[in-house]
């Protein structure tokens, strides 16, 4: 009869360390006569770094990351792209918002390895040749920030919000930007800034209003 156990070896200090699952072949009286590692039960070490290519703001970035590393950690700690902020690290504040496949995602809840080969857009990629994106300029024009900690996430979220067609009214905008928290409560100015940028990006006659 075969059974599965987790083989354990005692350390010198008495702690036990599991060494993975083994299949144990028992004799008729129940005594183990041989043991072999089960190939179907062997799990890869999830702490082992894997090569991944992240396509960020139009450029490929090659790095080795453990499967548990979040996109936010990869951006900030590995690639020096610190625009996306770590606010709550629990998916509740929106400060880490970036775009993956043109959809806004919370980078603190997204694994870097899951973004392999997908286009990623961060706040660092918005300005072109030193010219601010209309959203960046509108946030300045409307004084839509105080401490600025939430601002990169607000702008990236707003970019997707406009592309989704959810910037037609203030109420709609507030609803679809509700995942981005501003502790400084600059909400009226943020809404005004996004509305201005939306008009500009659409090429409307009142773009400058
Ligand atoms: S840091 Fe990701 S949602 Fe707050
Ligand atoms: S500007 Fe300070 S948190 Fe939004």
Expressed in angstroms and rounded, the spacing between residue 78 Cα and the centre of ligand 1 is: 18
Regarding the beta carbon of 147 and ligand 2, being less than 6 Å apart is answered: yes
- Tokens read off for 185: 């409560």
How far apart are the CA of 19 and the centre of ligand 2, in A?
A: 49
List the beta strands (DSSP E) in the chain.
2-10, 16-26, 32-37, 50-56, 59-65, 97-100, 103-106, 119-121
As a whole number, mean pLDDT of residues 33-60 equals: 71
Task: Give me the sign of the Cα torsion angle 38, 43, 48, 49.
Answer: positive
144 CA distance to ligand 2 middle (Å): 9
Q: What share of the chain is helix, strand, coil (3-state, %, to 5)?
A: 30, 25, 45
Of the options 3.30.1360.40, 1.10.3210.50, 1.10.150.120, 3.30.420.40, the CATH number for the domain spanning 134-202: 1.10.150.120
Fold exhibited by the domain 50-125: Ubiquitin-like (UB roll) (3.10.20)
pLDDT tens, position by position, 72-102: 999 999 999 999 999 999 999 999 999 999 9
- 145: how many CB neighbours lie within 10 A of its CB? 19
According to the model, what pLDDT value does residue 48 have?
87
Statement: residue 40 has pLDDT above 70: no
pTM, 2 dp = 0.78
Of 87, 123, 144, 150, the residue with max ligand 2 atoms within 8 A of its CB, to mutate for a pocket test, comes to 150
Atom number in ligand 2 closest to CA 183: 3
Work out the burial of residue 129: count CB atoms within 10 Å of its CB; fewer than 13 is exposed, 13-18 middle, 19 or more buried. Answer: exposed
């Amino acid at each position: 009869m075969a059974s599965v156990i987790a083989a354990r070896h005692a350390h010198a200090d008495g702690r036990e360390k599991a060494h993975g699952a083994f299949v144990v072949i028992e004799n008729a009286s129940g005594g183990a006569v041989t043991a072999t590692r089960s190939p179907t039960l062997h799990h890869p070490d999830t702490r082992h770094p894997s090569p991944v290519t992240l396509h960020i703001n139009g450029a490929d970035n090659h790095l080795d990351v453990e499967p548990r590393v979040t996109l936010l950690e990869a951006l900030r700690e590995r690639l020096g792209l610190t625009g996306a902020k770590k606010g709550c690290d629990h998916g509740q504040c929106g400060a880490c918002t970036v775009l993956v496949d043109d959809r806004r995602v919370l980078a603190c809840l997204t694994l870097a390895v899951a973004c392999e080969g997908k286009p990623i857009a961060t706040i660092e990629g918005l300005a072109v040749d030193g010219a601010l994106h209309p959203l960046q300029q509108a946030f300045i024009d409307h004084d839509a920030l105080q401490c600025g900690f939430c601002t990169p996430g607000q702008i990236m979220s707003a970019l997707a919000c406009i592309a989704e067609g959810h910037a037609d009214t203030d109420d709609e905008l507030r609803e679809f930007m509700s995942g981005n928290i501003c502790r400084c409560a600059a909400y009226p100015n943020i809404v005004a800034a996004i509305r201005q940028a939306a008009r500009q990006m659409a090429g409307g006659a009142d773009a400058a209003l």
